[in-house]
Amino acid sequence: MAASLKIISEQLGLSKAAVSIYFKDPSTRRISKENKERIRRLADELNYRPNVIAQSLSSLKSHVIAILIPLNVSYFSSTFLNQALCGIQSVLFNKGYNFIFIPTRGSNSPVIVRKQLERSRGYDGFILFGTRACSEENMRENVEQMLKADYPFVVLNMPDLGYEINQIVNVTPKSSSAIRYLLELGHEKILLMAGARQAPDTVLAIQEYRECFSERGLAVNENLFLNGDYEEMVARSELLQAINNGIEFSAIYCLTDTMALGAYEALNEKGLKIPGDISVIGKNDSFFARFLNPPLTSVRVLMYEAGKLGAKNLLRRIESNETPRKIFLKNELILRLSSAVYRPLNMDQGIE
Amino acid sequence: MAASLKIISEQLGLSKAAVSIYFKDPSTRRISKENKERIRRLADELNYRPNVIAQSLSSLKSHVIAILIPLNVSYFSSTFLNQALCGIQSVLFNKGYNFIFIPTRGSNSPVIVRKQLERSRGYDGFILFGTRACSEENMRENVEQMLKADYPFVVLNMPDLGYEINQIVNVTPKSSSAIRYLLELGHEKILLMAGARQAPDTVLAIQEYRECFSERGLAVNENLFLNGDYEEMVARSELLQAINNGIEFSAIYCLTDTMALGAYEALNEKGLKIPGDISVIGKNDSFFARFLNPPLTSVRVLMYEAGKLGAKNLLRRIESNETPRKIFLKNELILRLSSAVYRPLNMDQGIE
DNA sequence: TGCATTAGATCAGTCGCGAAG
DNA sequence: GCTTCGCGACTGATCTAATGC
């Protein structure tokens, strides 16, 4: 049985309040010196530590931010997420906020978030993180829930949802479009290694793909849209299968660097040279991108900054009730050696 | 103002207990159908959600595990930690436990952990994660604190501390020793890219280094122990400096793959071939190791398993009060192309 | 006796008010 | 009237025992 204020106060013949006052500020003058000394001694003896749960209840402030991630698998392996977490952490820790991850077993995003919210009243704020399992529509439902419950929150890793809420949006300006860049290099058969069709990132990428192609009057071949599920191994096998099926392409744009790893593997296995035969571009500019062979051209997404700004705005909302704001961060295409000017591929030679 | 049981019960002319009973089990037969319906409707209208803080206080069970990491910088970029977190998460989420990270601004490990503990009574259990900032002695102090407070806890990423506590220890069997392997390949000037001298991992590595060398009757050159601070860029510059200072070596063992990246950079800059001129071995076998140029030989550390087993044992302790157990996981040397048989280096040729 | 319901204690704190000196 | 010192009421839930019909 852990020592509590009550136990200490009873043993000393004081009120809980008196003991509480002392611990809140040991230099207080509201408690007599003798009593301070007695409290200190007994607390030390009983190894007293305040109960944060009770503190939170009584002060109606928990100093805990819940991070809601609509995904029911381990997600700390995602470099995307980890970059954002680093940014979030840098702000929250400075301001003395803890952050918590809530478990769920739901199958889809709205269910997961709803369940998380059911177990969340009492936390000071929320960070909603978009994932591959969370369509834009899903996230809108989630946002509606948050608004209805009147929770302070911020949305990360999602396209602009249109609400007047705290949101950090990472956008790709035309000048940083991987597809546009590949087209400029002369590639016209560009394979898109994306995720499931409803994943927001995939939706945006396909939209951008179509725009770029229609601008140039080129037809879009839907067979070039693969679903690598944001997993290295899936991307690898999808690509191998595409090659085996005789699908022709001279460049690949992968919506994560991890899938680009899978692409590298598949191309190596097939004896295709990067970028001699096939150009590859990744997304997120993970720290390992420049160490690959060849170094990977990648779209840098400012997730660290997104996490940092998101957390800042959330705290502003919590502590000063500032009005929500939307911030746009521009992605940047980082050129490395995995992408090159189009050169017709001699299929007989390249693929065994 | 968020709706509470009290508000609902007052508006309906019922007692808090009645409303509480309903929410605990909506199919209960202790509440009449009409009242159930009234409660449901009002709760819906007021957007009622139970307050987890109050629930925790009342049930004396928070279903929250605190993860204590004695480091005051962002740590989600560490692949080590992330692997462990994935394992932890896989267990906790299945069992319905949340997990929380506690902020601190302390300068050293005991201070950080002490501060974290001061803000932690009320959580169900603790995971103590060893870091570069936490010497073995530091961790012992932390463990003493935990024992004194009678908190359920488990220690990860630390050498065997000798206590009868829940601990998962990752050990390197002789057959997986990078140093031993390099010696067998004929290398005798082996550079050790480690961390600060008190970091547990560094202590162990230096100890192992000395053992291997003394077994073979070889003298140890302390100039070959560098402090790369577990950071890519620090490792890079330390290595460049060593090379510039004319320190001779034919192999490098880096205590993290991240530092191996730095080593790759430095060697490339100096025009030294891996493994032709210099063999490189990393540690942790991060997912990117096999994609490097050349693929990196690395000591695989089972951090995912450590996290998983640690969380399991912690929950066993919490839920069934099982006695603590210590588990040893064996590291494994994964051979790739960055390490090769010793070949005398022509310095004039190699370094410009 | 069983069904539907409630008062009140409890958890471990905080906060503002009040009473001596 | 200003300290110094301390207490009662309250936070939002759960749980036990009791009550009325």
CATH of the domain at B103: 3.40.50.2300
User: Which range has the worst mean pLDDT, A98-102, B116-120, B346-350?
Assistant: B346-350
Q: What is the pLDDT of residue B329?
A: 98
In this structure, the answer to whether residues B98 and B195 fall within a common structural domain is no
| B118 pLDDT tier (thresholds 50, 70, 90) | confident
Residue window 222-261, chain B: list those with CB within 8 Å of chain A. 232, 261
For residues A257, A260, A264, A269, the Cα torsion angle rounded to the nearest 10 degrees is 140
Q: What is the pLDDT of residue A295?
A: 96
Q: What is the pLDDT of residue B322?
A: 94
Please say if the pLDDT value at position A108 is more than 90. no
Within 13 Å of residue A219, how many CA atoms lie on the same side as its CB?
3
Calculate mean pLDDT across residues A71-97. Answer: 93
Calculate mean pLDDT across residues A114-125. Answer: 92
Calculate mean pLDDT across residues B137-152. Answer: 93
Quickly list H helices, B13-78. Answer: 16-24, 33-46, 52-59
Nearest-angstrom CA–CA distance, A270 and B185? 33
- CB pair distance less than 8 Å for B76 and A89: yes
Q: What is the pLDDT of residue B345?
A: 60
Tokens encoding B109: 């490990």
User: Is A106 inside a domain boundary?
Assistant: yes
In this structure, the answer to whether residues A1 and A142 fall within a common structural domain is no
* Number of domains within chain B: 3
Please say if the pLDDT value at position B351 is more than 80. no
CA B304 centroid distance within chain: 9
User: What angle is formed at CA B126 by the lines to CA B125 and CA B127, rounded to 5 degrees?
Assistant: 140
> Which of B57, B104, B117 lies closest to A49 in CB terms?
B117
Tokens encoding B174: 């002789």
Nearest-angstrom CA–CA distance, B342 and B217? 18
- CB pair distance less than 8 Å for B89 and A98: no
| B41 pLDDT tier (thresholds 50, 70, 90) | very high
Per the DSSP assignment, residues forming a β-bridge with A110 are none
**Strand arrangement, sheet containing B297-300:** B225-227, B190-194, B251-254, B279-283, B297-300, B332-334
Inter-axis angle of helices A52-59 and B52-59, nearest 10: 130
Residues of A in contact with B96 (CB under 8 A): 103
A26 touches strand C (CB under 7 A): no
User: Is A55 inside a domain boundary?
Assistant: no
Nearest-angstrom CA–CA distance, B250 and B282? 15
Please say if the pLDDT value at position B187 is more than 50. yes
In this structure, the answer to whether residues B76 and B144 fall within a common structural domain is yes
**By the 8 A CB rule, do B306 and B87 touch?**
yes
Q: Which residues contact B110 (CB under 8 A, 6 or more apart)?
A: B70, B138, B141, B142
In this structure, the answer to whether residues A151 and A208 fall within a common structural domain is no
Calculate mean pLDDT across residues A33-55. Answer: 91
| Preceding amide of B294 cis, omega within 30 | yes
User: Is B55 inside a domain boundary?
Assistant: no
CA distances from B270 to B189, B241, B246 (A): 18, 11, 12
Place of tokens 């192992």: B208
- For A136-151, the pLDDT digits (tens) are 999 999 999 999 999 9
User: Is B193 inside a domain boundary?
Assistant: yes
User: Is A30 inside a domain boundary?
Assistant: yes
B30 touches strand C (CB under 7 A): yes
User: Which range has the worst mean pLDDT, B36-50, B97-111, B259-273?
Assistant: B97-111
Q: Strand D positions with any atom < 7 Å from protein CB?
A: 3-17
**By the 8 A CB rule, do A331 and A144 touch?**
no
At A254, which amino acid appears?
C
**By the 8 A CB rule, do B115 and B181 touch?**
no
Calculate mean pLDDT across residues A49-74. Answer: 92
Nearest-angstrom CA–CA distance, B142 and B157? 14
Per the DSSP assignment, residues forming a β-bridge with B276 are none
Nearest residue (CA) to C1' of D8: A17
Calculate mean pLDDT across residues A172-191. Answer: 97
A75 touches strand C (CB under 7 A): no
CA of A6 to C1' of C13 (A): 9
Residues of A in contact with B102 (CB under 8 A): 98
Tokens encoding B146: 């935990």
Q: Does A107 touch chain B (CB under 8 A)?
A: no
In this structure, the answer to whether residues B281 and B340 fall within a common structural domain is yes
Q: How many CB pairs under 8 A join A and B?
A: 154
Q: What is the pLDDT of residue A346?
A: 58
Q: What is the pLDDT of residue B1?
A: 57
The DSSP result for A14-28, as a single string, is --HHHHHHHHH-TT-
3-class SS at B25?
coil
Please say if the pLDDT value at position B193 is more than 70. yes
- For B290-302, the pLDDT digits (tens) are 999 999 999 999 9
Q: Does A126 touch chain B (CB under 8 A)?
A: no
Calculate mean pLDDT across residues B31-35. Answer: 90
Calculate mean pLDDT across residues A71-86. Answer: 91
| A281 pLDDT tier (thresholds 50, 70, 90) | very high
Tokens encoding B78: 């560490």
Q: What percent of chain A clears pLDDT 70, i.e. is strictly above it?
A: 97
Q: What is the CA radius of gyration of chain A?
A: 26
Of A345 and B56, the one with more pLDDT: B56
In this structure, the answer to whether residues B161 and B308 fall within a common structural domain is yes
* Pairing outcome for strands A332-334 and A297-300: antiparallel
Q: What is the pLDDT of residue B111?
A: 85
Calculate mean pLDDT across residues A8-19. Answer: 90
Please say if the pLDDT value at position B146 is more than 90. yes
**By the 8 A CB rule, do A123 and A149 touch?**
no
In this structure, the answer to whether residues A225 and A320 fall within a common structural domain is no
In this structure, the answer to whether residues B164 and B188 fall within a common structural domain is no
Q: Does B33 touch chain A (CB under 8 A)?
A: no
In this structure, the number of other CB atoms found within 10 A of the CB of residue B36 comes to 16
User: What angle is formed at CA B317 by the lines to CA B70 and CA B96, rounded to 5 degrees?
Assistant: 80
> Which of B51, B93, B105 lies closest to A103 in CB terms?
B93
pTM: 0.93
Nearest-angstrom CA–CA distance, A157 and B220? 51
B16 touches strand C (CB under 7 A): yes
The DSSP result for B61-126, as a single string, is ---EEEEE---SS--TT-HHHHHHHHHHHHHHHHTT-EEEE-----SSHHHHHHHHHHTTBTBSEE
Please say if the pLDDT value at position A297 is more than 70. yes
3-class SS at B242?
helix
Domain that holds residue B243: 174-301+335-350
Q: Which residues contact A114 (CB under 8 A, 6 or more apart)?
A: A106, A145
Average pLDDT over chain B reads 93
CA of B16 to C1' of D20 (A): 19
Of A276 and A352, the one with more pLDDT: A276
> Given phi > 0 = left and psi -120 to 50 = alpha, else beta, which region is B243?
alpha
In this structure, the answer to whether residues A91 and A211 fall within a common structural domain is no
User: Is A186 inside a domain boundary?
Assistant: yes
Nearest-angstrom CA–CA distance, A31 and B278? 69
In this structure, the answer to whether residues B187 and B289 fall within a common structural domain is yes
CA distances from A159 to A131, A201, A204, A328, B319 (A): 11, 8, 8, 10, 42
Q: Does B17 touch chain A (CB under 8 A)?
A: no
**By the 8 A CB rule, do A279 and A252 touch?**
yes
CA of B231 to C1' of C4 (A): 66
At A322, which amino acid appears?
E
The DSSP result for A221-267, as a single string, is -GGGEEE-TT-HHHHHHHHHHHHHTT---SEEEESSHHHHHHHHHHH
> Of B292, B288, B284, B295, nearest to B340 (Cα)?
B295
Q: What is the pLDDT of residue B347?
A: 53
Q: Which residues contact A203 (CB under 8 A, 6 or more apart)?
A: A135, A136, A159, A197
In this structure, the answer to whether residues A74 and A16 fall within a common structural domain is no
> Given phi > 0 = left and psi -120 to 50 = alpha, else beta, which region is B89?
alpha
User: Which range has the worst mean pLDDT, A336-350, B81-95, B159-173, B253-267?
Assistant: A336-350
Nearest-angstrom CA–CA distance, B171 and B158? 10
CA of A17 to C1' of C4 (A): 39
Place of tokens 């860029």: B233
Instruction: State the DSSP H helix or E strand holding residue A54, giving kind and residue range, or none if neither.
Output: helix A52-59
At A315, which amino acid appears?
L
Q: What is the pLDDT of residue A56?
A: 94
Q: What is the pLDDT of residue A301?
A: 98
Nearest residue (CA) to C1' of C7: B15
Average pLDDT over chain A reads 93
Nucleotide nearest to A2 (CA to C1'): C12
| A29 pLDDT tier (thresholds 50, 70, 90) | confident
Check the CA dihedral A162-B3-A70-A63 and report its sign. Answer: positive
Q: Does A2 touch chain B (CB under 8 A)?
A: yes
| A352 pLDDT tier (thresholds 50, 70, 90) | very low
In this structure, the answer to whether residues B178 and B297 fall within a common structural domain is yes
Q: Taking CA atoms, what residue in A is nearest to B264?
A: A291
| A345 pLDDT tier (thresholds 50, 70, 90) | low
Calculate mean pLDDT across residues A65-77. Answer: 91
Nearest residue (CA) to C1' of D4: A30
User: Is A54 inside a domain boundary?
Assistant: no
User: Is B153 inside a domain boundary?
Assistant: yes
Calculate mean pLDDT across residues A184-196. Answer: 97
> Of A120, A179, A161, A241, nearest to B50 (Cα)?
A120
Q: Does A288 touch chain B (CB under 8 A)?
A: yes
